[in-house]
Structure 1
Amino acid sequence: MELTVTKIPRDTPKEPPSHWLGSPPTGFRNPWPSFRHKFSAMQMLKLRFGSGRNFVPVPENREGLVSIQNPDWGEGAKSDQIKATWIGHSSFLIEMPAEPSTESTEATPCRGLRFLMDPVFCERMGPGQLVGPKRFSPTPCTLDELPLVDALCISHNHYDHLDIDAVKQLYVDKQQNRVAAGMAPLQIFCGLNSKPWFVNHCGVKPEHVTEIDWWDEVDVSVSGQTVRLVCTPSQHNSRRSAGDLDHMLWCSFVVTTGSDSTEKKSVYFAGDTGYRSITDEDVSAGTPIEDLPHCPAFSEIGSKYGPFSLALLPIGCYTPRTQLSCVHCSPEDAVSVHFDVRSQLSVGMHYGTVRGGISAQYEDVREPPQLWRKAGEARGLVWDKDFRLCNIGETVVV
């Protein structure tokens, strides 16, 4: 089966986009007042090792932690439904609704396109798995047990969102299985300036990597199935090594069955993002959080592509706020994103799996899911109807 990627034409801006540094870009920035990055290396060290920490160990008996189950990948769900299986942290396997196909048989039923978002299966999330945060919740399956996927979507290059060994195994080691199944080579979708990394470090052929900028749209087609993929903004950053800060573009993704479909089904995958920035000056002045500028990109995403059948939103690794608010959503922020993107059902992610280097010193890993429900209900959302959580390994069907 041939996989084709068709870029949807759009008007060329007269000036370079505001998030570019240079033209062509050599780096990127968050172009909104909601991003205020005002702490120094000394302040980071003080937060990490100072006296204000409130370290709470991960419960050894897993009491209060997210449950883990064997995935069934939505077995029994209807073919016209979205199936999103949580692998842990921000990793999701999304199978889009299937369109009727003449190639479908009882032996080989028609399925929708499968996208693996931010795949991470390693135990330690850092260079060579020698340093960095260690996973405290295991994956619900191995890479060998994962269904064959059509594409990887990478929101950014941080170690807890991009596992080099997983990419290598999915692209190289599983190629024989893909050929046997009549599948095209794995396609990777990522932000601008990312292709060289996949080519040089993972052995991916250049024609199998598609770089896309914010607001770029592509149609992904395989064997009569077509899905539109959109690269959308997020408020974050990127770094894989000491010398590549913000060199590769970060993003979120919209995956939809097509804008012209009367039965459109769509997913918004937020990747990793902040919503507003809270500085020490804001805290000292007692500025109400709701008075601080928030990122306008989410409302724009909702206006262009919403309402969404499903939104996958980050709710963890957000404390302390004066350090992490600019790049990580709190549960309250995630509820705001739910409203901004016009989500019909939102599921929390980016928690319950691994601790961040700074947030580990301040944030009880059991806190994010509790505050997610509290914050949503405080704004009128109905649990299990408008927003929810799921087990690691569970498939959410919409």
Structure 2
Amino acid sequence: MAAASSVTPLPPRRPESYTSPPLHHVGNPPTSFKNPWPSYTFSGVKSLLKTRWNTPKNFVPVPTDRLGLVEIRKPDWGQNNNGLKATWIGHASFLVETTANKGHGRGIRILMDPVFSHRVGPYGMVGPIRFTSPPCDVEDLPEVDAVCISHDHYDHLDSTTLRKLLAKQKRDVKFFCALRVKEVLVGLGVGIKPEQVTELDWWDPIHLETEVGSVDLICTPAQHQSGRTPWGFDSTLWCSWIVRESREEGKRLFFAGDTGYCGVTSDDQPSHHKAPHPPCPAFAEIGELYGPFDLALLPIGCYQPRSALSGQHSSPDDSVAMHKDIKSKKSIGMHYGTIRGGFSVNYEPVLEPPQRFKIAAEAEGLRWGEEVGLCDIGETVIV
């Protein structure tokens, strides 16, 4: 059984830009949500279809010999080392473990956007297929205390994975999500009960207390979209997450989930440096209120074509800028090397994101492998 736990709301810290009602709410109480910044661009479904059929394709097959692809290793979860840990499962899935307190064999374990399925989509019958397998099965995970969900897209919220996790955990696990995602989680039919789920708005913090220690979780903004059905677009909120160790001088982790950074109107404008729109201000606000971060997990893939996806998916250049905005000491790239996005599959070679991440980091004078870098699937990064 996972350790018995309790959840307590904390007083929120909010940026000066915060208003009541919040600008990202549509309706009061909200019935849907929006990105409230000029950095977000979305020209509509008609424009997406136009881009899909008129933008010259650059389809490059996934290497069948896996040369250049992400390595997969059997995870050891950093069991012989103490510290704030993050083990990459692939795409945006991580197992995070806080620093173990004296007298306890482990810290608090939190799954971020867990997806182990071979295919991500409705009923496991449609949607992108993994070209890189998970490093283990759900049943091989160590005991987990909590799950944080960034939004309800299928490649971040997978019902099959959650069903297996609950069976393994005897259903004793806490779930944390943004507004209106609770209804989605409970409605999956996998056994999640309403009392297991805590729903938060941007900037809302909670304190999670367990038998092995405590941690603060803060729901923070992201620039994205949501929806699992055509009639439910943006009816649930998307977010990023902060994991803050509660002890004095505790370490801090930022999980970006799935996010854009700025709007780019042309596919000849690959980075924020050339964007006609300012960057999303939320990340600088996160850095000001909660930075510096000891470790950040930032998306670097599924971003092409930029004219269609820049508003909601960060390029490697964008994530280097995000690293600086949030005041991260060390950032690891994610959201690449695992699946091909349904839109970007025809435009983005799967080997490109990590290469561009390194180039962008070094162009900003950052030390590759120390301040910014990558890890294998199954590898545990410890700070």
* TMscore range, shorter length: over 0.9
Say yes or no: does 1:25 pair with 2:30: yes
Contact 1:47-1:358 within 8 A present in 2 as well: no
Contact 1:352-1:366 within 8 A present in 2 as well: yes
Say yes or no: does 1:71 pair with 2:75: yes
The secondary structure found in structure 2 opposite 1:211 is: strand
Say yes or no: does 1:273 pair with 2:273: no
Equivalent-residue separation in structure 1 for 2:146 and 2:153 (angstroms): 19
**What displacement does 1:390 show?**
0.3
Give the counterpart of 2:182 among 180, 195, 198.
195
Equivalent-residue separation in structure 2 for 1:301 and 1:324 (angstroms): 23
Contact 2:32-2:237 within 8 A present in 1 as well: yes
Equivalent-residue separation in structure 2 for 1:200 and 1:364 (angstroms): 36
| Superimposed CA distance per residue, residues 102-144 of structure 1 (whole angstroms, 9 cap, x where no aligned partner) | xx4xxxxx31100000000111111111111110000000011
In structure 1, the partner of 2:20 is 15
Contact 1:38-1:279 within 8 A present in 2 as well: no
Contact 2:38-2:277 within 8 A present in 1 as well: no
In structure 2, the partner of 1:182 is none
Equivalent-residue separation in structure 2 for 1:11 and 1:76 (angstroms): 36
**What displacement does 1:291 show?**
5.2
Normalised to the residue count of structure 2, the TM-score between the two structures is 0.94
Amino acid at match of 1:252: S
In structure 2, the partner of 1:98 is 100
Amino acid at match of 2:129: K
Amino acid at match of 2:255: F
In structure 2, the partner of 1:135 is 130
In structure 2, the partner of 1:88 is 90
Equivalent-residue separation in structure 1 for 2:19 and 2:335 (angstroms): 37
Say yes or no: does 1:150 pair with 2:133: no
Equivalent-residue separation in structure 2 for 1:224 and 1:116 (angstroms): 16
CA spacing shift, 1:126–1:189, aligned 2, 3 Å: same
Say yes or no: does 1:388 pair with 2:376: no
| Superimposed CA distance per residue, residues 238-267 of structure 1 (whole angstroms, 9 cap, x where no aligned partner) | 011121111111000000113xx5422010
The secondary structure found in structure 2 opposite 1:128 is: helix
Contact 1:317-1:359 within 8 A present in 2 as well: yes
Percent identity of equivalent pairs = 51
Give the counterpart of 2:197 among 200, 209, 219.
209
Amino acid at match of 2:59: F
In structure 2, the partner of 1:58 is 62
Higher mean displacement: 359-368 or 92-101: 92-101
The secondary structure found in structure 1 opposite 2:230 is: coil
Say yes or no: does 1:225 pair with 2:213: yes
CA spacing shift, 1:333–1:11, aligned 2, 3 Å: closer
Equivalent-residue separation in structure 2 for 1:230 and 1:189 (angstroms): 10
Count of matched residue positions in the alignment of Structure 1 and Structure 2? 376
Trace 1:1-398 onto structure 2 (pairs within 5 A).
1-10=3-12, 15-41=20-46, 43-50=47-54, 52-78=56-82, 81-101=83-103, 104=104, 110-171=105-166, 173-176=167-170, 185-201=172-188, 202-223=190-211, 225-258=213-246, 261-280=247-266, 289=274, 292-398=277-383
Unaligned runs of 5+ in 1: 105-109, 179-184
| Superimposed CA distance per residue, residues 317-376 of structure 1 (whole angstroms, 9 cap, x where no aligned partner) | 000000000000000000000000000000000000000111110100000000000000
Equivalent-residue separation in structure 1 for 2:143 and 2:348 (angstroms): 36
**What displacement does 1:198 show?**
1.5
Equivalent-residue separation in structure 1 for 2:13 and 2:60 (angstroms): 51
Contact 1:276-1:293 within 8 A present in 2 as well: yes
Equivalent-residue separation in structure 1 for 2:79 and 2:69 (angstroms): 26
The secondary structure found in structure 1 opposite 2:232 is: coil
**What displacement does 1:50 show?**
3.9
